[in-house]
Amino acid sequence: MIVEKLIFDDYLKIGVETIDQEHSFIFDKINSIIDLNSKKPLTRNEIFDALHDFQEYQKYHFLNEEKLMNEIHYPNYKNHKEIHDKLKNIINLELYTLQYGTDIFDIDEFLIFIKSWWDIHICNQDVRISRWKQKMDELRNYV
Ligand SMILES: [Fe+2]
Ligand SMILES: [Fe+2]
């Protein structure tokens, strides 16, 4: 199966520079896994290493985003963090399966899932942080 690469289009930019840079880096990481796998199907160990590396960066990004939400007193913090935690748990489970399980790991299925997760999460959730931040910045100018 050919998994299409992700494009970090303008509609995915939320307008907070550091967050946009990290999102773009996450897309690069997903694309490099797609690239590697399309050249030569990855072994179980190679998939584990790629996913582990991805998980580490993702955790770093979630932490930064959660710090920002705290700083600006984002009202939906708890719910947003729970969504991050859910994805971290899903990937931890995949890593566990890769290391200890014996059933076939469908990398294409995983790549399609992670691509849509990021697309939907940025558009439905992360963009709301940016809107709230803008409101707070405006307020600071008036008060
Ligand atoms: Fe994010
Ligand atoms: Fe997020």
Ligand 1 centroid distance, CA of 40 (Å) = 30
The Cα–Cα gap between 63 and 12 comes to: 20
To the nearest 10 degrees (0 to 180), the angle between helices 44-71 and 127-142 is: 20
Asked if residues 125 and 81 have their Cβ atoms less than 8 Å apart, the reply is no
Ligand 2 centroid distance, CA of 126 (Å) = 5
pTM of the full structure: 0.94
Ligand 2 centroid distance, CA of 69 (Å) = 10
Neighbours of ion ligand 2 (CB under 5 A): 65, 126
Span 94-136, pLDDT tens digits? 999 999 998 889 999 999 999 999 999 999 999 999 999 999 9
Span 11-34, pLDDT tens digits? 999 999 999 999 999 999 999 999
> CA separation (Å) from 82 to 65, 69, 104?
13, 13, 29
Residue 72 burial (C-beta neighbours within 10 Å; 0-12, 13-18, 19+): middle
Ligand 1 centroid distance, CA of 78 (Å) = 14
Asked if residues 131 and 80 have their Cβ atoms less than 8 Å apart, the reply is no
